[in-house]
Amino acid sequence: MAAPPPDPQFVLRGTSAAVHALHFSCGGQEPDVPILFSGSENGLINVWNLKTRRVDKALDGHGRKSVCWVETMDGKDRLLSQGRDQRICLWDLAEGRTSVMDSVFTESVGFCRCSLLKVAQGRWLMAMAAKALDEVQVLELPSKTSVCTLKPEAGAKLGMPMCLKLWQINCDSQPLLLSGYEDGSVVLWNLSMGKVLSQLFCHQEPVMSLDFDSEKAKGISGSSEKVLSIWSLNEQQNLQVHTTHRLVNAGISDITIRPDKKILATAGWDHRIRVFGWKKLKPLAVLDYHTATVHCVSFSDHKNPSERLLAAGSKDHRISIWSIYTQT
């Protein structure tokens, strides 16, 4: 008889709105405290102190419009946030400041979260949905210069981009972009040529989230259907379906592979967080705590593996924090 699934280690309450974005910043040395950023539907970004489990600061920069993505740039002092006000803000949080240093107007009305990739010291690439419905734009940060605009061929009918993932095999190689579209396909883009390298129909419904493991050249995507699709990239840069995994309930809003590539977590519309082994997609746990749709899942970046945490943000205004499979 398998052990019953664990309870959350603790729960963060008090966002007073649905939680849509989470990001840990726990990699700093003492005396830095581990921090969790959360973005909520009321437009606030909460900075949670994981020692005291209280909100340290609340950042209000998106005009009370929902925040759907938060990400740090080199430590916890620089924060990027994306809101439904069509703006991406760069926050300066050093020495207690809470000011918006810079912002980008995306002109995109969709729900597509951005993707950030550090390509060199002090140089980042950020992919975001652009003004035209089916376009993705890649900017270089912090200069905000446009690197390329990825536009599907006329007649491709991919629909809007739904989720993005910038990645590179190693720091010298070309950055590539994987994007999931409204028509259920996942497309691999070459940024320098602005060309489609490969396209794979993974789902019948829009791709809600995807994550990719560049070491194994294998990725996973979820949609509003009952299946998770696992696909791989072969040496000819072609995407191929690897397997699919059937879920009990339909709808996946977020998928994240843990940085050590051992396990992955999904955020389900059925209020549940599912944990799988990444190698074979062996189902490991179904964490049933939330009482409404789970919007996002995120793994912490603790240096010590045993301290690693999993956080999930839900429509029920709560953020559950879990300590699971930390010994492997």
Partner 1 sequence: SEARGAAMATAVESALREALAGPAPGAAALGALRDGLAAAGGPAALGRRQRERFGALLRSLAAAAAEGPEEPAGPWRSCFVEGPPGLALSALLGALGDAGRRLQPIVEVLERFVREGRLAALMWEVCQQQARGGPAELQDALLAGVVALPDRVSNSLRGRNPAVFFPQNYFPLLGAAIVEVLHEISASLRGGSDCSISFVSQVLGKVCVHGRQKEILSVLVPRLADLTKSDCIWQRICWRLVECVPERWMEAVVLGFVQRAPGADVLSRLLGNLVVKNKQAQFVVTQKFLLLQYGYTTAVLQNLLGYLSLDSLRRALLIKVLQELLETWSSSSAVKHSPAEQQEYISKAILICLSHLKEPEIESCRQELLTSMMEGVKCHLDSSLPQIRRLGMIVAESISSKINTDGPVLKFQYEEDDEARELKSLLVQAPSICAVPSLPDDNDDDLTPYDMSEDKELKKTKAPVYIRDCIEVLTGSEDTDKWEATVKALESLVRKNPAATREVSVELAKILLHLEEKTCIEGFAELRQRAQVAVLTVDPIPVAQYLTSQFYSLNYSLRQRMDILDVLVLAARELSFPKVHGKIKHVEKPCVQLLPGSDSSNDWRKIVDERIKSKTRRFAKGPSQVQVASGPNEFNSVAGHFFFPLLQNFDRPLSTFDLLGEDHFVLGRLVHTLAVLMYLAVNTVAVTAMGKALMEFVWALRFHTDSYVRQGLLSCISSVLLSVPAEHLLNNMTEELLETQSWLGDVVEKDPDGDCRRLALQNLLLMENLKKKLNKTVPS
Q: Which residues bind partner 1 (CB under 8 A)?
A: 1-6, 248-249, 262-263, 270-272, 277-280, 282-286, 288, 325, 328
Quick one: 131 or 279, whose CB is closer to partner 1?
A: 279
Quick one: 160 or 265, whose CB is closer to partner 1?
A: 265
Quick one: 131 or 282, whose CB is closer to partner 1?
A: 282
Residue 175 DSSP code = P
Alpha carbon distance 247, 216 (integer Å):
23
Alpha carbon distance 79, 94 (integer Å):
10
Taking the complex as a whole, the smallest distance from the CB of residue 319 to partner 1 amounts, in Å, to: 21
Ordered alpha helix ranges (H), the chain: none
- Nearest C-alpha neighbor of 61 from the set 37, 25, 95: 37
Quick one: 57 or 245, whose CB is closer to partner 1?
A: 245
Taking the complex as a whole, the smallest distance from the CB of residue 303 to partner 1 amounts, in Å, to: 22
Q: What are phi and psi of 224, to 5 degrees?
A: -80, 0
Quick one: 190 or 326, whose CB is closer to partner 1?
A: 326
- Nearest C-alpha neighbor of 213 from the set 138, 264, 156: 264
Residue for token pair 């999904």: 266
Q: What are phi and psi of 104, to 5 degrees?
A: -120, 135
Taking the complex as a whole, the smallest distance from the CB of residue 287 to partner 1 amounts, in Å, to: 9
Taking the complex as a whole, the smallest distance from the CB of residue 262 to partner 1 amounts, in Å, to: 7
Contacts (Cβ under 8 Å, ≥6 apart) of 65: 43, 83, 84, 85
Taking the complex as a whole, the smallest distance from the CB of residue 257 to partner 1 amounts, in Å, to: 13
